[in-house]
Amino acid sequence: MKDYILNYFRNLSYREKKMLSFLLSFLLVIFFGVFFLLPQLQLFITQKSTLDSKELQLNEYKNKSLALVALRKDFNQASSEIDKIKTRFITQSDMAKMYVDLSNLIEASGGTIVEFKPETVAQTPSTQQKPQQQTNTNTGATFSKTVMQPANQPANSNVVNPSIGNPYANAEKVLNVRTIKFALKVDFHGYEAMKKFIQKLSTFPKILTLDSFQVVGYSEKDKTLRLDMTLDGFYDLSKSK
């Protein structure tokens, strides 16, 4: 048998030997590829897939980390802004100075305070309260005594509940404040003075907004308009105890 095989190969032509050599080489390549290269290729694909998955997770964690840093920065900025706003809330100790500052602002605009009456700390519409009679109409001479114990004492639960509802109810709950109203009678030297005061109101140290106003008189002698005005502010309940 061995001699037969050897004789067979000896008798092959040059072309047949080339074909046989090519066939054996091809089979060897296939064998090497199947048993050696294919497992390595499968391992490479698996590792590449795992690496891609880890990279996606890493990018996701990185993005979440950046988002968390941005969120923390926004939160700190918001907290800082809230702290700035809280410094503009009204407390009992601010009342006397606030009257002086408000008088100066009105005078700088071209007006004079005739009466100043701090009203009640408004409760939210859901709270039913008995109305409290308003007293303590103040002029400059008597204001300092009245304002230190005004009708809007927050410790007193029997306060006026506005019949038309409270537009600041949501802010009151979040910031622990109550709306405090101030009724004023002011003499302005013309509409421009009144307009100037309204524009300057946003620069007042404490938050005050114009709730309503009405022209109730005119002095031909002094050339002044008398206005009834109501200003809204925020009373800080956290500092009222």
CATH for 143:
3.30.70.60
Residues of the chain with pLDDT under 50: 123-163
Structure confidence at residue 163 (pLDDT): 40
Percent of the chain that is helix, strand, coil (3-state, to 5): 55, 20, 25
Q: Is this prediction's pTM over 0.85?
A: no
| Boundaries of domain holding 23 | 2-85
Structure confidence at residue 241 (pLDDT): 55
- Please tell me whether residues 124 and 226 are part of one structural domain: yes
Last residue of one domain, picked from the residues 53, 85, 117? 85
Q: Which residues pair with 184 in a beta bridge?
A: 116, 229
Structure confidence at residue 6 (pLDDT): 64
- Please tell me whether residues 131 and 79 are part of one structural domain: no
| Domain total of the chain | 2
Residues 58/59/60/61 CA torsion (nearest 10 deg): 50
**How far apart are the C-alpha atoms of 30 and 27, rounded to whole Å?**
5
For residue 79, what is the enclosing H or E element? helix 38-86
Structure confidence at residue 131 (pLDDT): 40
**How far apart are the C-alpha atoms of 131 and 115, rounded to whole Å?**
22
